[in-house]
Structure 1
Amino acid sequence: MTKTIKLISPVDGEVYAERPVLSGAEARQAVAMAREAQPAWAALPLGERIARVEAGIAALNAMKDEIVPELAGQMGRPVRYGGEFGGVNERTAYMAKIAAEALAPTEVEDSDRFRREIRREPVGVVFVIAPWNYPFLTAVNTIVPALIAGNAVILKHASQTLLAGERLAQAMERGGVPPEVFRNVVLDHQTTEELIAERSFGFVNFTGSVRGGQAIERAAAGTFTATGLELGGKDPGYVRADADLDAAVDGLMDGAMFNSGQCCCGIERIYVHESLYDAFVEKAVAWVMQHKLGDPNDPATTMGPMAHRRFADVVRGQIADAVAEGARPLIDPAAFPADDGGAYLAPQILVDVHHEMRVMREESFGPVVGIMPVKDDDEAVALMNDCDYGLTASVWTTDTDAALEIGSRLETGTVFMNRCDYLDPALCWTGCKDTGRGAALSELGYLAVTRPKSYHLKKVQK
């Protein structure tokens, strides 16, 4: 009997899609076909590869009317937000623009005696294991530079967003990327780990949980396969005494609640200078109360369900534990009648919180944020660093020098000033501690999907 993966929609709890899982033999055949097709793809001129990838992204944009409601059905994002096309296009355009320079040889010497240089070569077959929360944005971070650099790509998408992988494959084929060069596959965990352990790939990119990242590392152990791992997060925001209060409330609360809090670099804890604390909290509550929780297919809905009931249950458990330990919830769930105890979860703000509470230390990945007062920068830095994760941190201030000084002390991959929850494709996307390792986007993103090859050519003297 063929094993299948069922996608359960958070909108109504019904099966939205079901796909057969590839057998081990079928998966290995897909990898073999990719490996065989990759040299011819790499032999194409760089400009030709860029043009085909850009045409693939254009084909994806042409599917917008189908993709936006599919996202609502698969993972619950409201249709009013129109999908992820702005970020997809921005990142693709930037990585295409810098490709020639990023992939150009580094010349050390070209004299009458020697030619010495370092070139970048594709690693072969790149394996992308993509998450459900931003199924297109996160995937293109690696897919686009990998293809442009001359690699073949095997994509395994999350079970919650099976259709996103299919759409990407359709789009790339329409753009002129051969189907053997870019292949979407449906795999179970066992086959995934077996393929990695068999050294099937030159690079494995995974975005997901810490536990998932640990499984990838165990599978790759001893193979010397390079991995890029973007794992958990508990990103903090700090509002200094000199901050623009209204801008800080709007930015940080959007960072905490957008996509029902299901953002890799979403804000999960906020520290506010004591002089602004009461005003910030009051404005934050008013900001949340403007939202409407409901059916993501309704254009009036600003907050849809979480992607799965079990994710919402994790957040409910954290909130309940925090309240039992003395935290004070400021949002009455009754104000959001769509909260059904299942995937639909009312947003919540917690005060009187401390770092012994799970909600301030463990990843929530949902629409809840804890807010604490601090007396100065030192206390804020200590609390921001008091965490097992390090993806981004957001500082709100009018003093750029202060933000740089604070940022230099933060254990994080990206420091923001007066913004949050954004990926700048010109900057390296990376993390530290349990958030994982690796580099995506920017010129460094090309280093992840290529390997250096040195040429030391001694010229014959006549």
Structure 2
Amino acid sequence: MSESLKTISPIDGNLYIERPYTPSQTVTQMLVAAQTAQDAWKHASIEDRAAILTGCVQNFESKKENIVDELAWQMGRPVKFGAGEINGFVERASHMIAIAEEALKPIEIPQKEGFTRYITREPLGVVFTIAPWNFPFMTAVNSIIPALMAGNAVILKHATQTHLCGERMVDSFVEAGLPKDLFQIVVASHQLAAEIIQSDQVEYVCFTGSVPGGKAIETAALGKFIGVGLELGGKDPAYVRPDADIMSAAENLVDGAMFNSGQSCCGIERIYVHADVYDNFVAAFVDIVKSYTLGSPLEIETTLGPMVSATAADFVRRQVLDAVGTGARALIDPALFPADNPGTPYLAPQVVVDVNHSMRLMTEESFGPVVGIMKVSSDDEAIALMNDSEFGLTASVWTEDVDAAIRIGDQVETGTWFMNRCDYLDPALAWTGVKNSGRGCTLSSVGYESLTRPKSYHLKTAV
């Protein structure tokens, strides 16, 4: 096994950064130091925590220009869109800081003569966050800021592909005055990460990643009696009803499917369109996809960068070939995208029709710039197809009828239900999934519940 973490840039296939794995003895020292720092931090007022963390976020944001370039080199995000990742980090962090005082205040109990009763929300201790590469700042912030605001310490393990993003967060926070050892980053293999989970210092694990990764986390935590939050995969559907604004639906769904080269757990991967508007929708959708520019993410005109690796791109290519081999049609000629190159991370976007659920493209997470579009005859058929999945992260409907949107949403198995929107996290709403999309919740006031434990006070005040 390698003794170091190596980030290979999808831009040119070269080594971008390398870091030695943290020795086990050092990890033990880090965990003890985190506990010591948390013992002091938990006594700080929420107001003081908010002031410090607001400064940390502002300091991080001030480094946006350098971070955008680093992001492109690590995972291929075009520099044209890199600032959005930082803006999203700030939006989520700022919201979770702003609502902390209300979310963490003691729970009031109806008065009972002779007794004082209330429930406080106590910090857990040390939280272990394992962050992914596809949205390396916005996913990490979902647990890091609320964990710290709740009075916990955080140990961060970032993905191999975007480890430098984790370093930038930790360095920015420490530089801005966050108490020493309260937020640390570890360079860990999968085995070392499991050992951290199995230590006696960690009280909660926040993981964002694949379903197999989630299973490995649960296995590592078995018998430790600690909390585990899992945000896993998605195969997110959209349904376009006959009363939808077709051009608006097409524009937004193309963005939902192609942004970040389709590498989003809540990206659009399958679309069901009512027969009455199917042809018009597909035509509009394909025209918009053809307007994208595939190329180096360092070029400002690029709107579609490389996928994270050649392996990931080839996986999507095989899905498309399998679908076409069983009767589907691919509507985009790769020749329109000269940068497309088999065996490399540079992959042309693709739109596939005449699809069905016997095809992997419609059931297996693609995590790439491809989408299948299927014709349906009714709301009921669309609902059945949307629910025909092992995943349930987000789903959307495109319609002018709010009542219909709510009625359909009530029947769709999903963590978030959108009307005329997709591929977005509102930090005021709970971010959660059903089925194999995970367990637990981040963001919103509900997100604080898993990062604290209740403590009841039952005080008899009269003899």
TM-score, normalisation: structure 2 = 0.98
Q: Does 1:163 align with 2:145?
A: no
Give the match's secondary structure for 1:409: coil
Unaligned runs of 5+ in 2: none
After superposition, where does 1:139-150 map in structure 2 within 5 Å?
139-150=140-151
CA contact (8 A) 2:115 2:462 kept: no
2:354 corresponds to which residue?
352
CA distance, structure 1, for counterparts of residue 309 and residue 190 of structure 2: 19
Superposed displacement of residue 197, structure 1: 2.0
- 5 Å-filtered alignment, 1:190-269, equals 190-269=191-270
> Do residues 88 (structure 1) and 89 (structure 2) align?
yes
Q: SS at the partner of 2:410?
A: helix
Q: How many angstroms apart in 2 are the aligned matches of 1:211 and 1:190?
A: 14
Query: Match for residue 343 of structure 1?
Result: 345
- AA aligned to 1:59 is N
Counterparts in 2 of 1:2-401, with a 5 A limit? 3-83=3-83, 84-109=85-110, 113-341=114-342, 342-401=344-403
Task: State the TM-score, normalized to the length of structure 1.
Answer: 0.98
How much has 1:17 moved relative to structure 2?
A: 0.4
2: CA distance between counterparts of 1:8 and 1:2?
14
Structure 1 portions without partners, runs of 5+: none
Give how far 1:89 is off. 1.6
- List per-residue Cα deviations over 1:155-210 (Å, max 9, x = no partner): 00000001100000011112221230000111001111112123431110000000
**Which residue identity lines up with residue 255 of structure 2 in the other structure?**
D
- Separation in structure 1 between the aligned mates of residue 48 and residue 255 of structure 2, nearest angstrom: 40
The offset of 1:14, in angstroms, is 0.2
Q: Which of residues 411, 416, 423 in structure 2 aligns to 1:414?
A: 416
How far apart are the structure 2 equivalents of 1:317 and 1:231? 22
Q: Distance in 2 between matches of 1:258 and 1:222?
A: 40
Deviations 1:52-94 (A, max 9, x none): 1111111111111110000000000000113312211211121
Deviations 1:108-141 (A, max 9, x none): 1456611101100001001100000000000000
What's the CA shift for 1:338? 0.3
- Superposition deviation, residue 2 in structure 1: 8.0
Separation of aligned partners in 1, 2:298 and 2:408: 42
SS at match of 2:42: helix
d(CA) in 1 for partners of 2:241 and 2:253?
A: 13
Q: Which one is further off, 307-316 or 433-442?
A: 307-316
- Match of 1:343, SS? coil
| Matched letter for residue 153 of structure 1 | V
Asked if the contact 1:11–1:73 (Cα under 8 Å) also holds between the matched residues in 2, the reply is yes
Does residue 458 of the first structure (1) align with residue 460 of the second (2)? Answer: yes
Alpha-carbon contact 2:72-2:82 (below 8 Å) kept: no
Instruction: Please state whether the residue corresponding to 1:82 is helix, strand or coil.
Output: helix
The corresponding residue for 1:423 is 425
Give the AA of the match of 2:19.
R
Identical pairs, percent: 57
Q: What is the alpha-carbon root mean square deviation over aligned residues?
A: 1.1
Question: Do the aligned partners of 1:428 and 1:444 also contact (CA within 8 Å) in 2?
Answer: yes
Q: How many residues align?
A: 461
| Cα pair 1:127 1:203 within 8 Å, conserved | yes
Distance 2:45 2:64 in 1: 30
Do the aligned partners of 1:169 and 1:179 also contact (CA within 8 Å) in 2?
Answer: no
Matched-pair contact (CA < 8 Å) for 1:199–1:225? no
Helix, strand or coil for the counterpart of 1:11?
A: coil
